[in-house]
């Protein structure tokens, strides 16, 4: 018996050996090895054999022939076959192209949106070294309270004391919009901000005019936005011009800043030096300016720090907290939860900070990302399913190609290439979809995204998603199709069985996703409806409100009296804000419980309770009938009565912690009403009278003609304040805006779940029509033997409907779990009811049934004689 060479050497040799020389060389090598063994030891023979293989390697390799698919003729052939197949089965191709294009377009839109959201504050060069100081504590019930407000004296004191802090700026928007005038022209006074002199060197908001260090250095200067400069100082240099503030001061324009990117929490059109607020306070309240600016009492302003180094340790937070607490002459307790230095980049996604405007919702972003992936997945599955189901049409080609010498990898490349060609066509269509949908998307979401494909690597994102989709969708069919054995497929004429477990699994997955999205859409829209329709404890219909500038606030009394004389005006009232948007809170002292605390506060006039129709459950409302009510009467809500006061709340002593306020009493308890959005549970509230802080005027009408009533208000307003246009808003619309995020999510999920089910049904449609086509002979025979149309439709449909039913059942627990998680964000929420599932199930089954039976019905009513004769 001759010795065979060791396996590893023969393997090495056959790996090196060109295929056409394999038999000769490998065979001779076997014999040669036997010869070597005769004359050598085992080891010696192996060594020589290995040396032989090694030294032959370069020449062997150089003789190898490479069959790369780079051959032009083959590529042309592949292209022709691909296009022919697309055209011959145009229906299927369109289903695939439409599905993939819709999936790609939604993915890209959502990618744009996510890019925008996570890019918040990304444009600041110092973004990693900027921190906002957030006073924070844990209340007795365990909830963490955070606020943006710090006192005016805080930031300068800390910057002086801590070497880690390089610069600071305070920031705030004037809530009561002052009157801004350029000569006689009134400027829109929304978004007038206060900032310190380092504001523009901390934040990267570019100055078009003016010097970064100097624009806010002088008192009574103002920096304006490029838009304001264009609108009100066209064709002239705004620098040095003056803007009049509340008919009291002239502010000199020292700079113009470029518009702030929309993904920033900073939003202002004008900025004045922070000291200005000191002047306003001094003139309006006779409070010394310097004392106010260094005060540690008036918690109304955000503080931002630029740190020396980007990394801020918790230890620095603790030291600042300690020093700040001790400055306020309080005892610092290191064990309780302390204040927080919030990194600038976290501002957008941190929720629940009081004083922050609507911020980003990381959950929504996650939801949208998942939806995008879902839709693309459904489209990919469609492709996979249709491609494998229609394998019959291609097996002959595969067989012939293999007989002609095609290798498996070549076929895989061919089919993958076809998928990528299809995806490329889809990409072109998806760009059309994107262009059509983007403006709608922007409109509904209140965004200004642009599809500029050549910026921010957008084209890379789009092509990347496309390529990935092509590969994901095509890889299984490519391997499936190229694995057919030519001997089987060429012999059998009837073609391949269309049963496939994978296909069934994919259908179940697709419809689970669709069902999940439908249930999600129902829950989200129900929750939004619930929030918009829940009784809030006050009237919101037929109420308009507006905030007159402080210069004319003293004339509001006359205006009110005049309006009250009309029969169609139910009530006119002034308050520090409208219910739903209350954010004010003051520090109160209640001697009975010996504690000072911050309580949400509505400051109102005597008509407030009646105008808003708020119910009094105990005691009485504040009223002009009691002379002392203007300074000593307080109302609290039920929650405050329950949480803060032990005994009978009426008659309890209470006062605002400030020298200007006398000790007063609780005169009445009002029924809880939602003075904040329904995201938050009702907290204790104090309602009190104070003529100095009531900037907002609300007018309530009766049922009569609204246009007439509005004209009436305009007319009366013109009489008292002729140069101030009346900018009023409807309360019910404003309240709806509170739930804009939910409204957006609801719309988006609704749209996408519709898209998901359309794409899934297209796939189902393709599959049923294919299966029906395959079984048409069987259907003919069944009809001849007396089967009814219904029986045939049921026969064809039941397989698919079983899968859809299974998918629906699977989606229920998943959606219950996910939607319950989503609902935890809301203090007031709906219960997930079985009705939602019944509704979703009905929708799903009806649509799927329609899709399936359309095909099977048309097959069932066919004349069997025609089918059978073929």
Partner 1 sequence: MKGTYLGEFEEIILLTAAVLEEAYGNAILEEIELRTTRKVNLSAVHSSLHRLEKKGFLKSRKGEATPVRGGKRKKYYAITPFGVSALEDIKKLREGLWSSISPGLLKKYNP
Residues that bind partner 1 (CB under 8 A): 2, 4-5, 10, 21-32, 34-35, 52, 55-56, 59
The Cα–Cα gap between 676 and 782 comes to: 67
Q: Indicate the residue among 59 and 866 with the shorter CB distance to partner 1.
A: 59
| Residue tagged 């409806």 (tokens) | 529
Report in angstroms how near the CB of residue 409 gets to partner 1 at its nearest: 25
Q: How far is CA 847 from CA 55, 526, 552, 754, 840, in A?
A: 70, 22, 61, 11, 11
For partner 1, the closer of residues 5 and 841 by Cβ is 5
Query: What is the smallest separation between the CB atom of 403 and partner 1, expressed in angstroms?
Result: 21
Q: How far is the CB of 27 from partner 1 (least distance, A)?
A: 3
Residue 128: Cβ within 10 Å count: 15
Closest distance between partner 1 and the C-beta of residue 53, in Å?
9
Q: How many CB atoms lie within 10 A of CB 870?
A: 7
> Which of residues 33 and 634 has its CB atom nearest to partner 1 in the complex?
33
Identity of the residue, 4 or 835, whose beta carbon is nearer to partner 1 in the bound complex? 4
Helix, strand or coil for residue 112?
Answer: helix
Identify which of 225, 218, 232 has the alpha carbon closest to the alpha carbon of residue 255. 225
- The sign of the dihedral angle between the CA atoms of 216, 316, 352, 440 is positive
Q: CB within 8 A of 506, min separation 6: which ones?
A: 381, 384, 385
Closer to partner 1 by Cβ: residue 22 or 557: 22
Q: How far apart, in whole angstroms, are the C-alpha atoms of residue 324 and residue 322?
A: 5
For the bound state, the minimum distance from the C-beta of residue 486 to partner 1, rounded and expressed in Å, comes to 23
Closer to partner 1 at the Cβ: 22 or 91? 22
Q: What is the per-residue DSSP string for 628-668? A: THHHHEEEEEHHHHHHH-SS--TT-EEEESSTT---EEEEE
As measured in angstroms, the least distance from the Cβ of 93 to partner 1 is 47
* DSSP string for 160-171: HH-TTEEEEEEE
Minimum distance of partner 1 from residue 376's CB (angstroms): 50
10 Å CB burial of residue 204 (0-12, 13-18, 19+) is middle
Question: In angstroms, what is the minimal distance from the CB of 8 to partner 1?
Answer: 14
Residue number, 27 or 91, with CB nearest to partner 1 = 27
Please give the Cα distance from 513 to 749 (Å, whole number).
Answer: 12
In b/e form, how buried is each residue of 743-760, taking b as 16+ CB within 10 angstroms?
Answer: bbbbbbbbbbbebbbbbb
CB of 60 to partner 1, least distance (A): 8
Phi, psi of 133 (to 5 degrees): -90, 125
Maximal CA-CA distance, the chain? 128
Shortest CB 54 distance to partner 1, Å: 11
Q: Which is nearer to partner 1, 4 or 79 (CB)?
A: 4
Nearer to partner 1, 48 or 555 (CB): 48
Q: Which is nearer to partner 1, 2 or 407 (CB)?
A: 2
Closer CB to partner 1, residue 26 or residue 164?
26
Instruction: Give the shortest CB-12-to-partner 1 separation in angstroms.
Output: 14
Q: Which residues contact 858 (CB under 8 A, 6 or more apart)?
A: none
Other C-beta atoms lying within 10 Å of the C-beta of residue 265: 19
Q: Nearest-CA neighbor of 355 among 202, 170, 608, 535?
A: 170
Query: Minimum CB separation from partner 1 for residue 366, in Å?
Result: 60
DSSP 736-751: HHTTHHHHHHHHHHHH
Short-list 169, 230, 174, CA closest to 200: 169
Distance, in Å, from the CA atom of 687 to the CA atom of 672, rounded to the nearest integer, reads 12
Nearer to partner 1, 30 or 479 (CB): 30
- Residues 590 and 684: beta-carbon distance below 8 Å: no
Question: Token digits for 116?
Answer: 């925008």
């Amino acid at each position: 018996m001759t010795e065979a060479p060791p396996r590893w050497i023969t393997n090495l040799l056959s790996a090196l050996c060109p295929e056409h020389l394999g038999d000769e060389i490998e065979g001779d090598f076997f014999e040669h090895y036997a010869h070597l063994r005769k004359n050598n030891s085992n080891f010696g023979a192996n060594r020589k054999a290995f040396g032989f293989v090694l030294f032959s390697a370069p020449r062997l390799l150089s003789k190898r022939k490479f069959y790369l698919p780079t051959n032009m003729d083959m590529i042309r052939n592949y292209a022709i076959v691909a296009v022919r197949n697309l055209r011959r089965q145009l229906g299927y191709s369109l289903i695939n192209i439409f599905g993939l294009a819709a999936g790609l377009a939604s993915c890209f839109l959502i990618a744009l949106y996510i890019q925008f959201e996570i890019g918040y504050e990304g444009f600041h060069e110092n973004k990693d070294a900027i921190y906002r100081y957030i006073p924070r504590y844990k209340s007795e019930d365990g909830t963490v309270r955070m606020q943006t407000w710090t006192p005016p004296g805080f930031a300068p004191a800390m910057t002086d004391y801590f070497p880690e802090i390089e610069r600071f700026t305070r920031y705030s928007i004037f809530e009561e919009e002052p009157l801004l005038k350029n000569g006689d022209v009134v400027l829109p006074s929304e978004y007038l901000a206060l900032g310190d002199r380092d504001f523009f060197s901390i934040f990267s908001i570019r100055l078009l005019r003016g010097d970064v260090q100097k624009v806010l250095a002088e008192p009574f200067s103002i920096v304006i936005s490029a838009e304001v400069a264009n609108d009100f100082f066209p064709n002239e240099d705004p620098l040095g011009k003056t803007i009049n503030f509340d008919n009291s001061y002239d502010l000199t324009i020292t700079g113009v800043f470029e518009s702030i990117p929309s993904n920033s929490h900073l939003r202002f059109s004008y900025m004045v030096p922070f000291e200005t607020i000191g002047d306003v306070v001094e003139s309006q309240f006779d409070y010394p300016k310097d004392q106010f600016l260094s005060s540690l009492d008036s918690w109304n302003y955000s503080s931002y720090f630029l740190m020396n180094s980007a990394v801020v340790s918790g230890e620095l937070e603790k030291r600042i907290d300690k020093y700040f607490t001790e400055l306020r002459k309080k005892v610092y307790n290191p064990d309780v939860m302390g204040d927080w230095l919030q990194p600038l980049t976290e501002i957008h996604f941190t929720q629940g900070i009081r004083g922050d405007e609507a911020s980003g919702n990381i959950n929504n972003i996650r939801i949208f990302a998942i939806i995008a992936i879902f839709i693309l997945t459904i489209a990919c599955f469609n492709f996979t399913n249709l491609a494998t189901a229609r394998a019959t049409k291609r097996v002959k080609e595969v067989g012939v190609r293999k007989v002609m010498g095609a290798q498996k990898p070549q076929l895989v490349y061919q089919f993958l290439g076809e998928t990528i060609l299809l995806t490329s066509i889809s990409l072109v269509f998806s760009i059309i979809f994107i262009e059509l949908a983007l403006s709608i998307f922007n409109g509904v979401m209140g965004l200004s995204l642009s599809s500029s494909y050549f910026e921010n690597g957008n084209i890379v994102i789009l092509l990347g998603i496309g390529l990935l989709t092509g590969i994901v969708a095509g890889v299984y069919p490519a391997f499936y199709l190229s694995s057919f054995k030519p001997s089987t497929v060429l012999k059998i004429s009837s073609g391949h069985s269309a049963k496939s477990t994978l296909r069934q699994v994919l259908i179940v997955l697709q419809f689970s996703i669709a069902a999940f999205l439908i249930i999600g859409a129902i829950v989200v829209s129900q929750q939004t409806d619930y929030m918009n329709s829940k009784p809030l404890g006050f009237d919101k219909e037929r109420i308009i409100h507006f905030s007159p500038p402080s210069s004319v606030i003293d004339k509001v009394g006359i205006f009110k009296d005049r309006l009250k004389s009309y029969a169609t005006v139910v009530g006119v009232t002034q308050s520090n804000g409208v219910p739903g948007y209350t954010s004010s809170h003051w520090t109160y002292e209640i001697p009975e419980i010996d504690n000072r605390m911050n309580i949400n506060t509505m400051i109102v006039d005597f008509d407030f309770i009646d105008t808003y129709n708020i119910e009094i459950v105990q005691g009485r409302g504040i009223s002009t009938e009691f002379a002392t009510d203007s300074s000593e009467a307080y109302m609290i809500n039920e929650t405050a009565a329950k949480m803060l006061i032990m005994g009978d709340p009426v008659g309890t002593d209470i006062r605002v912690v400030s020298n200007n306020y006398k000790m007063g009493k609780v005169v009445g308890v009002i029924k809880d009403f939602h003075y904040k959005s329904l995201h938050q549970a009702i907290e204790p509230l104090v309602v009190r009278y104070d003529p100095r802080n009531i900037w907002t005027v609300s007018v309530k009408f009766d049922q009569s003609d609204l246009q007439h009533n509005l004209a009436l208000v305009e007319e009366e307003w013109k009489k008292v304040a002729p140069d101030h246009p009346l900018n009023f808003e409807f309360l019910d619309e404003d309240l709806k805006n509170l739930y804009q995020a939910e409204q957006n999510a609801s719309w988006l999920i609704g749209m996408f779940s519709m898209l998901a089910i359309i794409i899934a049904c297209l796939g189902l449609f393709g599959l049923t029509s294919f299966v029906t086509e395959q079984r048409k002979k069987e259907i003919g025979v069944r009809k001849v033997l007396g089967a009814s149309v219904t029986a045939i439709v049921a026969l064809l449909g039941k397989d698919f409907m079983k899968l859809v039913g299974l998918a629906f059942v699977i989606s229920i627990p998943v959606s219950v779990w996910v939607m319950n998680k989503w609902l935890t964000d809301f203090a007031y929420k709906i219960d997930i009811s079985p009705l939602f599932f019944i509704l979703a199930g009905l929708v799903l089954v009806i649509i799927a049934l329609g899709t399936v039976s359309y095909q099977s019905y048309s097959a069932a009513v066919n004349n069997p004689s025609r089918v059978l004769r073929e």
